[in-house]
Amino acid sequence: MSSPVDLRGFLAGFLGEADEHLTSANANLVAVEQSLAKAETNPRAVRELFRSLHTIKGLSAMVGVEPIVEISHAMETVLRMADLASGRLSEDAADLLQKGLHAIDERVRALAKGASPQPAPESLIDAFSALEARGTSNGGGDEIVLEIDAALASKFTAGEKQQLASAAAAGKRALRVDFTPSPGRADGLSITAVRERVGRVADIVKVVPVSIPESEASPGGLCFALFVVTSAEDGVLGDAAGSDSSGIVAVAHRPRVEPARAEIERDDGSDAHRGTFVRVEVSRLDEALECLSSLVVTRFKLVRAVASLAASGVDVRDLSLIVGETGRDLRDLRAAIVRTRMVTVRSLLERVPLMVRGLTRDSDRAVKVILETGEAELDKSVAERVLPAILHLVRNAVDHGIETRSERLRAGKPEAGTLRITCSQHSNTELDLTLSDDGRGLDRDAVAKRANRPVPESDAELLDLIALPGVSTAGRVTTTSGRGLGMDIVKRIVVGDLGGALSLETEPGVGTTFTLRVPLTITIVDAFSFECGGERFVTPIGAVEEIVEIDPAHVVRVPVAHGGGRDAKMLRRRGEGLPLFGLSGLFGLKPASTGPGKALIIRRQAQQYAFEVERMLGQQEVVVRPLEDPLVRVTGVSGSTDLGDGKPTLVLDLVALCGTISSREEALA
């Protein structure tokens, strides 16, 4: 007897496939809900949503994940009924589908963590069964009979017939529009062009080629019958199809016949493009990046060896050329590997509209979500880390940023609030994510009172205040916010974990905007290297606004309050005074030289700081190794790297160091 099959080897593939189809399902459910809000149907989105769930169900059955099979099967039943109603869904059905997708996602995440998924929620399955029993269609009215030639009617699926009939019952026109191609046509129209033109003024249900007698107008004996649903006039359709009104015929009439029942149509060619993709586990990409990191360190060693040979008088011109070419090849290889790890920001944010809908379901709020992400991409590891921060900000905006409907109407605002998420590439290494709402804004006095601190004078000070643990901008604790943890977590993720920057702009009664500046990738970065107190350090290029020579004539000493007689240094720069700190002194190192050095200009929110270093060494790619041990983690040090000599070199987070200095000064004040 053969041994049972071990399906654990298929789990990694299942997780990748399931995640992809869940993303697609969320996007299509958003499209369905947008159509529902306009009192329209969206048959295509319903079919695509069904396809995604059907695939998830099949994959889950293959690896034996029965809870997901049960949930997806219940959702399929509702979607099949909606397809037979030409994509018509009730709000109750859309709510249940959202809960179903969330339940599936929870169980997929549990499998990814090596845990056993929870059984399918009985209440959810019962709700789907009840919905099926009473039907999801909001249609109504008399049924429609279709008048289509029998030979053509045999080529229609039941869903396509129902789409024509339901649209006609809802007051739209179900029509057949004929197009006859001919080489002699003066307008040069082809069926491809006609489909595009007609698709702009009508929903194309099906296109069927029809044989007709050969003639001067139709030398090929071929005609294309386009079956469409539209509210457009015959003249508009005729112009789009390149035909006159004689080629446009209504195909739907009353009265009643019993429609046939069938499965949702399958488009055999819908996944043809998938053959051009190869699914790769993230662990393999991590392995490739690790190998690249080793090559970067090896190149540092080679550069040092070549420099040593040159110092001893050896002719290394040919070797230097090879080293230069190797550096360019490594940079290209790095770009290629990083591209394979990229995910689009749009796919990262697909769940936000559904989450907002869930947050507003039981409240007197209406929120419109606008995503303007373009083609921007992030490294998958960065995307996974920054997503919780984005979701925290979204919850805050919906729960106590945007006013209730009645409050907005009294303030002269539109009844529905707007939450807009945009992104733009700040540089070759950084991305800006902006979340803005048109809500009530932040009340500085109220926040200061809750924090028992002075009222902040600037948005930067306000951000520092609301990011303190235990401080919340909410007036009361709810299931989603009010406990004073959200902004603390956001700042820790964006600034602490990712080494990025977080900024805030708010105006009472107008709204609030948060900007998250995050690195595109966090493993291999471009960095400046420099010396302080005889030690070498590096810092990412993206954190440095400018490098300047320190002119002693532009350095001013000012007394420090509560400083015990010590003075602080300020650097005059373009008419402004910047706090100037010596990195050697901050790290307790003895300066190796007493002469003037260089200053790295860093911006933390609206304030600029200058850090004095003794000598700049250059710019290069470095491999950042995070400091995982909590006993050696220090604010201002984000990791370590190897510059080719085998010694660890600290990677400094100067923006975080600015925050530590500011907090220290506030404590002394």
**395 and 314 co-located in one domain:** no
**87 and 158 co-located in one domain:** no
**155 and 303 co-located in one domain:** no
Distance of CA 548 to the CA centre of its chain: 37
Q: Label the pairing between strands 637-642 and 648-652.
A: antiparallel
| Statement: residue 201 has pLDDT above 80 | yes
SS (H, E, C) 483-498: CCCHHHHHHHHHHHHC
Establish if 612 belongs to a structural domain: yes
| Statement: residue 358 has pLDDT above 80 | no
Q: Which of 103, 134, 165 is the last residue of a domain?
A: 134
Q: Rounded CA gap, 326 and 328, in Å?
A: 5
Q: Which of 247, 261, 230, 254 is nearest to 146 (CA)?
A: 254
Judged by DSSP in three states, 534 sits in coil
SS (H, E, C) 149-209: CHHHHCCCCHHHHHHHHHHHHCCCEEEEEEECCCCCCCCCCCHHHHHHHHHCCCEEEEEEE
Establish if 273 belongs to a structural domain: no
| Statement: residue 600 has pLDDT above 80 | yes
Cβ atoms 176, 225 nearer than 8 A: yes
The 8 Å CB, 24+ separation contacts for 623-627 are 623/293, 623/296, 623/297, 623/523, 623/524, 624/522, 624/523, 624/524, 624/525, 624/651
| Statement: residue 185 has pLDDT above 70 | no
**510 and 531 co-located in one domain:** no
Q: Would you call the peptide bond into 255 cis, given omega within 30 degrees of 0 as the criterion?
A: yes
The torsion angles phi and psi of 408, rounded to 5 degrees, stand at -70, -40
Q: Rounded CA gap, 642 and 624, in Å?
A: 9
Residue 625 gets which letter from DSSP?
A: B
Q: Which of 106, 89, 100, 95 is nearest to 124 (CA)?
A: 100
* Lookup result for tokens 């994940």: 65
**470 and 369 co-located in one domain:** yes
Mean pLDDT computed over 230-249: 82
Longest CA pairwise span in the chain (Å): 104
Establish if 272 belongs to a structural domain: no
- CATH number for position 440: 3.30.565.10
Establish if 334 belongs to a structural domain: yes
User: How many structural domains comprise the chain?
Assistant: 5
In the structure, what pLDDT confidence band is assigned to residue 421 with cuts at 50, 70 and 90?
very high
- CATH number for position 84: 1.20.120.160
Token pair of 272 as six digits: 């043809």
**388 and 513 co-located in one domain:** yes
The torsion angles phi and psi of 358, rounded to 5 degrees, stand at -65, -35
In the structure, what pLDDT confidence band is assigned to residue 420 with cuts at 50, 70 and 90?
very high
Establish if 416 belongs to a structural domain: yes
Q: Rounded CA gap, 18 and 16, in Å?
A: 6
Cα separation values, 572 from 470, 498, 548, 576, Å: 38, 31, 12, 6
* Lookup result for tokens 């905007």: 513
* pLDDT number for residue 264: 38
Highest-confidence segment of 151-155, 523-527, 597-601 = 597-601
Q: Which of 134, 158, 181 is the last residue of a domain?
A: 134
**445 and 350 co-located in one domain:** yes
Q: Residue 379, exposed/middle/buried by CB under 10 A (0-12, 13-18, 19+)? A: buried
**514 and 537 co-located in one domain:** no
Higher pLDDT, 18 or 170: 18
| Statement: residue 275 has pLDDT above 50 | no
The rounded mean pLDDT for the chain is 77
Establish if 461 belongs to a structural domain: yes
**178 and 242 co-located in one domain:** yes
**354 and 489 co-located in one domain:** yes
The answer for residues whose C-beta is within 8 angstroms of residue 35's C-beta and 6 or more apart is 41, 42, 45, 87
* Lookup result for tokens 């399902």: 25
Range of the domain at 314: 282-340
In the structure, what pLDDT confidence band is assigned to residue 37 with cuts at 50, 70 and 90?
confident
pTM over 0.85: no
Establish if 583 belongs to a structural domain: yes
**363 and 254 co-located in one domain:** no
Establish if 139 belongs to a structural domain: no
**540 and 581 co-located in one domain:** yes
Q: Which of 74, 100, 134 is the last residue of a domain?
A: 134
DSSP string, 576-593: EEEEEEEHHHHTTPPPS-
